[in-house]
Amino acid sequence: MSVTLKDVEHIAKLSRLEFSENEKEKLVHNMNDILKHIEKLNELDTTNVEPLSHVIELQNVMREDETKQSLPVEEALKNAPSKEESFFKVPKVIG
């Protein structure tokens, strides 16, 4: 499989990224290089292989439902680019 300029534009939209025409062309080239290498995996028959998502045996972690102190609001807002009262402020969402 390989990607076209149109694919790159679509993926950019999904990734919330934008690129110049020049950058897009470079991306088509770079991504196809990498995808070509990735094609290698098709040499392997993995029909009966279970996908691996955790490399060590993990167990579900439970704890008592106790109230613990969390970050104070002022602290949590410390790195906010824009804030008002106890809220993060962003551009208007609904017109």
Query: Smallest distance, Å, CB 84 to other proteins?
Result: 13
Site string for other proteins, 9-48 (x = CB under 8 A): --xx-xxxxxx-------x--xx-xx--xx-xxx-x-x--
Residue 78: exposure state from Cβ atoms within 10 A (0-12, 13-18, ≥19)? exposed
Minimum CB distance to other proteins smaller for 49 or for 67: 49
Report the run of H or E that residue 84 belongs to, with start and end.
strand 83-84
Q: Does residue 70 bind other proteins (CB under 8 A)? A: no
Q: What are the angstrom distances between the C-alpha of 4 and each of 16, 21, 25, 42?
A: 18, 13, 9, 21
Q: What are the angstrom distances between the C-alpha of 24 and each of 4, 16, 45?
A: 10, 14, 34
Minimum CB distance to other proteins smaller for 21 or for 34: 34
Residues forming the site for other proteins (CB under 8 A): 1, 3, 7-8, 11-12, 14-19, 27, 30-31, 33-34, 37-38, 40-42, 44, 46, 49-56, 58, 61, 63, 71, 75-76, 78-82, 88, 90-93
